[in-house]
Amino acid sequence: MGDCRRVGVAVDFSPCSRKALKWAVDNLVRSGDHLILVCVRPEGYYESGEMQLWETTGSPLIPLSDFSDSHIMKKYEVNPDPETLDIITTASRQKEIIALMKIYWGDAREKLCESVDNIPLDCMVLGNRGLGKIKRAIMGSVSNYVVNNASCPVTVVKSHD
């Protein structure tokens, strides 16, 4: 397989996921890599059929040209922000990487771990929202769960906002 790696970055288009993406682009991905944005949407009722169609397996891998297109992303009810798209577009051009997106529906902790095996990923980068101790105890930390359960190396990029 050569030296082509599949680097996953968990994205929810928040400032801390952008920070994780930027960290991955600046410190981890290199020419020839596949940078795969893994987006997990909450389960629920979605008007379009995309969620029903891909609920168990996640969406197909979506190329950058498609996830830059708001009409296509509307079908998945995902709205990538301009800053995230800019980071990805610039990285794919400058570093000669292939950028893809995969969308899952359900519990973020489980789906991120599933993505590692299903895509499959060589490593995963995710941000932490910096929940306080009480919120983390109640809600559980997604990053903590993924670090302890994913079958690949996981890097957590701390957000200091």
- Give the contacts of 121 (CB within 8 A, at least 6 positions apart): 6, 7, 8, 36, 38, 115, 152
Is residue 150 included in any domain, yes or no? Answer: yes
Is residue 117 included in any domain, yes or no? Answer: yes
Is residue 1 included in any domain, yes or no? Answer: no
Is residue 144 included in any domain, yes or no? Answer: yes
Domain count, the chain: 1
Higher pLDDT residue, 48 or 77?
Answer: 77
Q: If you write DSSP's letter for every residue of 28-86 in order, what string do you get? A: T--TT-EEEEEEEEPSS--SSSHHHHHTTT-PPPEEHHHHT-HHHHHHHT----HHHHH
Cα separation of 43 and 131, whole Å?
Answer: 22
Amino acid identity for residue 133 in this structure = K
Helix (H, G, I), strand (E, B) or coil at 146: helix
- The CATH number given to whatever domain includes residue 64 is 3.40.50.620
Is residue 33 included in any domain, yes or no? Answer: yes
Is residue 34 included in any domain, yes or no? Answer: yes
Q: Domain residues for 112?
A: 6-157
Pairing of strands 98-105, 62-63: antiparallel
Cα separation of 26 and 119, whole Å?
Answer: 23
19-64, pLDDT tens digit by residue? Answer: 999 999 999 999 999 999 999 988 776 666 666 777 788 999 999 9
Q: What global pTM score does this model have?
A: 0.89
91-148, pLDDT tens digit by residue? Answer: 999 999 999 999 999 999 999 999 999 999 999 999 987 666 666 565 558 888 999 9
Is residue 75 included in any domain, yes or no? Answer: yes
